[in-house]
Amino acid sequence: MNTRQLLKVAVLTTVAAVSFSMPVKAQVNVTPEDYRVALSLQKVIESVAEKVRPAVVDITSVSTVKFQHPAIPPEFRDFFRQFGFPMPQFPDMPKEFERKSLGSGFIVKVKNGWAYILTNNHVIDKAKKIRVKLYNGDVYTAKVVGADPKTDVALIKIKVGNKKVPVAKLGDSDKIKIGELVIAIGNPYRLDGSVTHGIISAKGRHGLGLNPIENFIQTDAAINPGNSGGPLCDIYGNVIGINTAIVRNAQGLGFAVPINIAKKVMHDLLKYGKVIRGWLGVYIEDVSPDVAAKFGIKSGVIVTKVIKGSPASKAGLKSGDIIVTYNGEQVKGVSDLQLKVVNTRPGDRVRLGIIRNGERETITVKIGQMPQHEMIADALSTLGLSVQKLTPELKQKLGIPENISGLVVTDIKPGSPADDAGLQEGDVIVSAGTKPQNLKPVKSVEAFAKLVEKAKDSGVLLKVYRNGFSFFVVLKAEE
């Protein structure tokens, strides 16, 4: 390296040293007004936390899980059944153990010495003991007022006597907007009273497979295990949702049950002891985008069948009608119409905007109450099972002998109780009962669903026909 090159390096080094030693000049000018705005937002979040945190409770539920042996894959179960080998036994393993579930809740009402708490059904489901810890550290044993698995909402209560306890204020989830700031409060991983904030990412989320009735608020406010049952609040401290679910291994994907749905569930449980839902009585399918374009509509549902004697039938609704509005509101699809109907009080009259033979019409329907057999039949879906009556046509199609009758399994949800029991599509449920002594032929879906509901946690004993063999299984809800 010559003298000129050495000089050049020395100059560059000196310049670099001077540059690094000089103070960095801010490229963004922050004004006092900017700080005032930031501090205002900070104060809003502080205010919400101060208002709502005292009403948030920690819930620990204890349930008993029973089992006889480790889960055996269906293909191995079939092997043992078909060749008459006894199922493997594990006599040294415990028959049951206690499981604790952690969650959150919030006090919504105090009456006659009882404090009522909203939470998720899955937080207290099948619990034999529920412990509630208040924000001040007081611990109580809770009683279940009622629960609604369809919406994953539950109402429990604790005896507080004359003690004053804070109550959360409920808002109106129908008025929320996408992009609105929200604050989530709960007890993730037993970290009591944790506060996170974000925005409403979306509304009306459904088809997630979490609940039979879905209309979730989606938020990016951090929600973790233990947050379930806690409140999602607006900037005024009003509860607009119940934090319910997260997408595992994802960030910023949390879901909450709208508080208006929870308010209806709470009202019905307190007044009737059960949830009352409206019923229209139709089978429907989504209108495809191409069909919608031809009819000049944005969305809607097409009626594929009208149940005889139903409110829809009495109002004159026909197969082939396209329902486009419900009391003036656009029908966005099957889930949207179902939600509108079940949230309508039985006896209320609603206006359906329909398209029939290419012409727009409006018909008035008096919404009925969902029949008990319709509500009970939904129990089958929670077991991951779909069935239908075995007709002569199905017998011929599936190659089932003439002397076999009952219900044919049309769908099994992977990982469901029906799947765990070893049932498969094409199986025929020949007879069912709560024990061997009262096994009876299965003649209808409704009768089978009622038996499932009656058996509840004890399970239903099924005699099943498959490929020339008959065997027994017990179908029961997950522990």
Q: Which residue has the tokens 């997408």?
A: 247
Structure tokens at 387: 């069935």
241 is in an annotated binding site: no
Please state, in angstroms and rounded to a whole number, the distance separating the CA atoms of residues 177 and 238: 14
Please state, in angstroms and rounded to a whole number, the distance separating the CA atoms of residues 114 and 145: 11
Structure tokens at 138: 């007081």
Give exposure, 310-340, as e/b (b: 16+ Cβ within 10 Å): bbbbebebeeebbbbbbeeeebbbbbbbbbb
Helix (H, G, I), strand (E, B) or coil at 312: helix
384 is in an annotated binding site: no
Chain Cα centroid distance, residue 324: 26
Pairing of strands 301-306, 322-326: antiparallel
Q: Which residue has the tokens 């009768």?
A: 447
Q: Which one is catalytic: 122, 173, 234, 420?
A: 122
Amino acid at site 430: V
- Whether the CB-CB separation of 313 and 331 falls below 8 Å is answered with no
431 is in an annotated binding site: no
Pairing of strands 129-133, 139-141: antiparallel
122 in catalytic set:
yes
Neighbouring C-beta atoms of residue 5, cutoff 10 Å: 9
Q: Which one is catalytic: 152, 268, 286, 427?
A: 152
Q: How far is CA 357 from CA 108, 113, 250, 318, 321, in A?
A: 50, 60, 47, 11, 8
122 is in an annotated binding site: yes
- Whether the CB-CB separation of 346 and 276 falls below 8 Å is answered with yes
Furthest CA-CA distance within the chain: 107
Q: Which residue has the tokens 């010495």?
A: 113
Structure tokens at 452: 């499932």
Structure tokens at 310: 């139903």
228 is in an annotated binding site: yes
Helix (H, G, I), strand (E, B) or coil at 205: strand
- Whether the CB-CB separation of 198 and 41 falls below 8 Å is answered with no
Q: CB-based burial of residue 440 (10 Å sphere; 0-12 exposed, 13-18 middle, 19+ buried)? A: exposed
Nearest to 231 by CA among 165, 174, 170: 170
228 in catalytic set:
yes
Q: Which one is catalytic: 228, 310, 405, 431?
A: 228
Helix (H, G, I), strand (E, B) or coil at 224: coil
Chain Cα centroid distance, residue 150: 7
Show binding-site residues: 122, 152, 226-228
| Active-site residue set | 122, 152, 228
- Binding-site entries for substrate: 122, 152, 226-228
